[in-house]
């Protein structure tokens, strides 16, 4: 497995070129799979060369961190674990979250609880999950800086933050990575965020790099998303939006056929070709999907192919989130 570096200097973090987004193992895409099978998949990912595993306290809540803790405990010295803070979550875990909370004392409480669930003595990369407008980002960065000084956290990150927020946080505690949705069909980070990250030497971790499955070519306008599937609530997954965006998936399939690859591999290869400091973290719940997605590191797209994909992506239709969720991003 090829590696990439997030951040620079003393704040650099070397990880596999493709990481593992673990949320879907516990929530958001229908009933959670069998825990023992997910442990097997996670350990297979390690054997295949993946070193970056992404989770959060709200995934479940709590159960995703517990899953990773159990799965990765035997190989802890071989992996990088990223988790997140920033929401109010009931101690019982009966509700996903009830508002934002990045007060410094809460951040430290979350860190202690996450360490226990992850069965580790240090969090490799600790993200603010969403920017809290009620807490200055300087205070958030200061709280994480304290945790780094105490040896409980190694690296600081933000998720879905605006460029100016990134700059302010970075001035207090240098950021290693910003996590943001970024893919062939969601390219807004290119407008301001990516130039800022490049200037400051901060890496990008790309979540939903396969468009929540749509870019694989296996999700069609006639799809019936079951109860508990996040996609049933997203504007881009209405039948009309999926039909309108099918031409992009068709093109990915055409390029894939030429390369002896799959549409998913081409979509990931497109991300890898953008910047050497971008690391996609697709969600993978089977060994077969692991093997397929990791094959993207061997797919090289030509300048003409990249331009062809860019042209097709320019006409993508539909909002990515309902308005209430979109308001939590870009602060």
List, by residue number, the catalytic residues. 59
* φ, ψ of residue 52 in degrees (nearest 5): -105, 120
CA distance 298 to 6: 21
Q: Is the peptide bond before 204 cis (omega within 30 degrees of 0)?
A: no
- Helices then strands, counting H and E runs in the chain, come out as 11, 10
Beta pairing class for 278-280 and 123-128? unpaired
Two tokens, residue 67: 């899953």
Complete DSSP assignment for 118-181: TT-S-EEEEEESS--TTS-HHHHHHHHHHHHHTTSEEEEEEES--HHHHHHHHHHS--SEEEEE
Q: Are 158 and 178 in contact (CB under 8 A)?
A: yes
Residue 123 burial by CB count (10 A; 0-12/13-18/19+): exposed, middle or buried?
A: buried
């Amino acid at each position: 497995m090829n590696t990439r570096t997030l951040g620079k200097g003393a704040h650099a973090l070397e990880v596999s070129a493709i990481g593992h987004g673990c949320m879907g193992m516990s929530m958001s895409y229908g009933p959670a799979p069998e825990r023992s099978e997910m442990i097997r998949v996670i350990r297979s990912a390690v054997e295949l060369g993946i070193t970056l595993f992404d989770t959060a306290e709200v995934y479940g809540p709590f159960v995703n961190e517990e899953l990773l803790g159990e799965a990765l405990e035997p190989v802890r010295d071989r992996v990088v674990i990223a988790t997140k803070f920033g929401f109010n979550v009931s101690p019982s875990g009966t509700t996903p979250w009830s508002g934002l909370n990045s007060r410094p004392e809460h951040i430290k409480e979350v860190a202690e609880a996450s360490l226990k669930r992850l069965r580790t003595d240090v969090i490799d990369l600790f993200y603010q999950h969403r920017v809290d407008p009620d807490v200055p980002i300087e205070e958030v960065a200061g709280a994480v800086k304290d945790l780094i000084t105490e040896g409980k956290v190694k690296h600081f990150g933000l998720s879905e933050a605006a460029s100016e927020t990134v700059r302010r946080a970075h001035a207090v505690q240098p950021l290693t990575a910003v996590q943001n949705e970024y893919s062939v069909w969601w390219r807004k980070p290119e407008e301001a965020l990516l130039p800022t990250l490049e200037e400051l030497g901060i890496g990008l971790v790309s979540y939903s790099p396969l468009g929540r499955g749509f870019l694989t070519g296996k999700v069609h306008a006639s799809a019936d998303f079951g109860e508990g599937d996040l996609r049933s609530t997203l504007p881009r997954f209405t039948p009309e939006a999926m039909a309108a965006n099918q031409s992009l998936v068709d093109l990915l399939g055409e390029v894939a056929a030429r390369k002896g690859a799959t549409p998913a591999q081409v979509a990931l290869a497109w991300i890898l070709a953008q910047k050497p400091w971008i690391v996609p973290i697709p969600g993978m719940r089977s060994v077969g999907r692991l093997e397929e997605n990791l094959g993207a590191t061997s797919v090289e797209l030509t300048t003409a192919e990249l331009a062809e994909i860019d042209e097709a992506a320019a006409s993508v239709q539909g909002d990515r989130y309902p308005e209430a969720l979109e308001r939590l991003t870009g602060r």
